[in-house]
Structure 1
């Protein structure tokens, strides 16, 4: 059994839980800064390959990973939360694989996290309950927002400008140093 994950932290988590060595995907594939040593010609030597946190894997990494797996000999188990934000790179592979029914999949419905506002918000979201996340920032202003993707671009732009002004007024922050807008797109 070979254990791998997209990040070093997740790979260490695999080691702690399973009691055997875990690697990043790139390390397992023998990435040296120029390319990968694992490929069709030199596949991963495993009967079972477990890839944790697969929701973080983008298209280029997944392509190299699957190129290096001999599916006639290796069973691949992809583990991850398809409800997470897509990876930083291109694609949303785990979600796409599940939605297209291209692979057998099992979706766990119980959220297992330490008790916190994040767990409550995740649970509400997965149940289809609540539209605004619970919790507030230390200054009392809104610290997170869900924007309906159906609103028009101008309405979204106006909303973001109002939000930015609210943050600037409440926190008196340097917009260049302290403000980041995340816009998940594919």
Structure 2
């Protein structure tokens, strides 16, 4: 998700700050639209965001990690900033209260895909926007790893452990020996 988000934000003219773990992932993030990339394994991300923004903070944080990062994500926001949590790779957020938003008159949301695509017309509009960006070359949705369906458990373990980048595809062997993607 992060690689697509970086490209999409760059296409919209946003100066985005990304976080990634390790040199390989930070280089990949830079190549996918992030103007600044913080290696959270080597740097304290809140301090680095504050440095990059001249201690102003950012307008919005998109947090896919959850439990391990939500407090720091709020610390990165400027007054009236927005916290968007769209994942929980480290676990569910615990201890969050409305008082946490009062520190900067923040807003928070937890978008769920199904609410955005429940209406068929809205789904078509959103899909058209996405595919227009892909066709124009603004977004590259590269497959970075493939697993045979028989190894789905290993693929899932690697996804949960955040040991993947980009798209992960499961392949299915068909009777004629051709591979198709699921």
- TM-score between the two structures when normalised by the length of structure 1: 0.37
Q: Which has the higher strand share?
A: 2
TM-score (norm 2): 0.38
Q: Please say which structure displays the higher CA radius of gyration.
A: 1
